[in-house]
């Protein structure tokens, strides 16, 4: 079965396109959970439960993301490494570090991004230990969660990852066979075939 594959991007210089918020969600579209840092030792060696930190992938370069339109049409969207770089630059330039909500609905206060980077092997910036390998150009970040309700939902497993929301341009549209999309997703996620 063939489905549309739409490459999304932004224009760094206009006021129309941007990532507006990062949402804490139960089922991240990128199919990668975060790591909630609490009492257990982990890759960053943070062992203080009072820190309330969550870290993980925000966007995965080159990964097709399944979408279904209101009219029932099924398609995929994809962010290239270059598009993600533009998105991150604009997000930081606009100072949207505290623009966070739950499930793309309820805004939350006292939650903010304090760490963000783009995976780039040529600069020595690799996927942190303890996380599934990310392709170059992927966006990784960490949030401090001081909001009690949000933290309770992180701890109980209600929220498992991030989802970015914004207004994007459709840069390229192609039609791709489902089999090819599955192969791309398997290559991105590594040999184990999970996303």
For the stretch 177-191, pLDDT in tens is 667 777 777 777 664
Phi/psi for 128 (5° steps) reads -60, 150
User: What's the pLDDT score for residue 43?
Assistant: 31
Q: How far apart are CA 168 and CA 149, in angstroms?
A: 30
What is the structure's pLDDT at 190? Answer: 64
pLDDT in the model for residue 148: 94
Which residues of the chain fall short of a pLDDT of 70?
30-49, 172-178, 189-195
Q: What is the pLDDT of residue 66?
A: 85
> Is-contact 56 162, C-beta < 8 A?
yes
pTM tops 0.75, yes or no:
yes
The per-residue pLDDT for 157 is: 83
**What pLDDT, on the 0 to 100 scale, is given for residue 136?**
97
CA triple 32-92-133, angle to 5 deg? 25
Position of tokens 């184990």?
A: 192
Are 21 and 101 in contact by the 8 Å Cβ rule? The answer is yes
Question: How does 131-153 read in b/e, with b if 16+ C-beta sit within 10 Å?
Answer: bbebbbbbbbbbbebebeebbeb
pLDDT at 38: 42
């Amino acid at each position: 079965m063939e489905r549309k594959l739409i490459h999304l991007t932004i224009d760094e210089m206009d006021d129309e396109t941007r990532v507006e918020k990062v949402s804490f969600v139960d089922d991240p579209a990128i199919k990668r959970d975060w790591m909630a840092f609490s009492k257990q030792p982990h890759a960053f060696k943070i062992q203080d439960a009072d820190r309330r930190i969550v870290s993980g992938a925000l966007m995965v370069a080159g990964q097709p993301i399944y979408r279904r339109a209101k009219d029932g049409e099924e398609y995929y969207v994809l962010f290239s490494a270059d598009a993600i770089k533009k998105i991150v630059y604009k997000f930081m330039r606009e100072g949207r570090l505290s623009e966070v909500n739950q499930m793309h609905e309820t805004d939350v206060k006292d939650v903010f991004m304090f760490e963000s980077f783009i995976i780039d092997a040529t600069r020595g910036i690799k996927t942190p230990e303890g996380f599934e390998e990310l392709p170059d150009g992927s966006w990784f970040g960490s949030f401090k969660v001081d909001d009690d309700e949000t933290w309770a939902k992180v701890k109980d497993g209600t929220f498992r990852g991030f989802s970015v929301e914004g207004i994007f341009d459709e840069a390229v549209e192609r039609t791709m066979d489902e089999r090819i999309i599955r192969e791309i997703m398997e290559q991105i996620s590594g040999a184990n075939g999970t996303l």
